[in-house]
Amino acid sequence: LWKFETSKYYVTIIDAPGHRDFIKNMITGTSQADCAVLIVAAGVGEFEAGISKNGQTREHALLAYTLGVKQLIVGVNKMDSTEPPYSQKRYEEIVKEVSTYIKKIGYNPDTVAFVPISGWNGDNMLEPSAN
């Protein structure tokens, strides 16, 4: 758990790894959340595996909505590993596909923030990135 305060909010961050072995932890943390940050990998093959019929991306988004989390932020990670790196086209493909799925389960994609990031390089993690 990480905790911090802003002038408007008291924030507790609960990290729920995407691996199936940690799904119980994910459910426990999500059931107490007001907002979820869904991290999807932008790499070719990685994104497709997560968004596939039995993928973790779908499962976690559905569980979050089912458990009452109505606010969602999607971090599109590993933008540095797209071809070419930081591909706008790849980012837009991912936003479109994730938007289509989350709309089916009940989220309004127009109210969901999508953020292209690179955890490895720190792009858009703490400060806006030129990439």
pLDDT single digits (tens) 86-130: 999 999 999 999 999 999 999 999 999 999 999 999 999 999 999
Categorize the per-residue pLDDT at 28 as very low, low, confident or very high, splitting at 50, 70 and 90. Answer: confident
User: Does the residue 29 lie in any domain?
Assistant: no
Q: Per residue in 59-93, pLDDT tens?
A: 999 999 999 999 999 999 999 999 999 999 999 99
User: Does the residue 19 lie in any domain?
Assistant: no
Locate tokens 């979820």: which residue?
36
Collapsed DSSP state (helix, strand, coil) of residue 11: strand
Tally of domains within the chain: 1
Please give the pLDDT value at position 70.
93
Helix (H) or strand (E) holding 4: strand 2-5
Question: Is beta strand 2-5 parallel, antiparallel or unpaired with respect to 35-41?
Answer: unpaired
User: Does the residue 8 lie in any domain?
Assistant: no
- By C-alpha distance, which of 94, 54, 67, 56 is closest to 78? 94
User: Does the residue 85 lie in any domain?
Assistant: yes
Please give the pLDDT value at position 48.
97
Categorize the per-residue pLDDT at 33 as very low, low, confident or very high, splitting at 50, 70 and 90. Answer: confident
Amino acid at 129: S
